[in-house]
Amino acid sequence: MNFDLRRKIYGNKVIGEESLRMIEIARKLGATSKFSGSGGAVISMYEDESQYEKLKEAYVSNGFRFTKVVPDVRDSSEN
């Protein structure tokens, strides 16, 4: 919804073709996706390793870089 609202406000020209492609790749594979900042990169969430592999293949085959981000969920008070 966040991306859809941004697209509605700014329009496709401002969003840019490359950014639109990144979002569409994820959506076609059933994953959620949004900009991780002001554009130029997206973060997508996947349901399982099979979907992860499909996302990776799709992004890489379309010329995008792909990195898996794993959050550090340790309690910061433990340090």
Give the Cα separation of 26 and 59 in Å (integer). 9
The residues, any chain, with a CB within 8 Å of residue 9's CB and separated by 6 or more, are none
Give the Cα separation of 30 and 11 in Å (integer). 23
- The percentage of the chain sitting over the pLDDT mark of 90, rounded to a whole number, equals 58
Residue 2 has pLDDT above 90, yes or no: no
Of the pLDDT bands very low, low, confident and very high (cuts 50, 70, 90), residue 37 is confident
Entry pTM? 0.79
Please state the domain extents for the chain.
Answer: 2-65
Q: How far is CA 17 from CA 1, 21, 40, 71, in A?
A: 19, 6, 10, 29
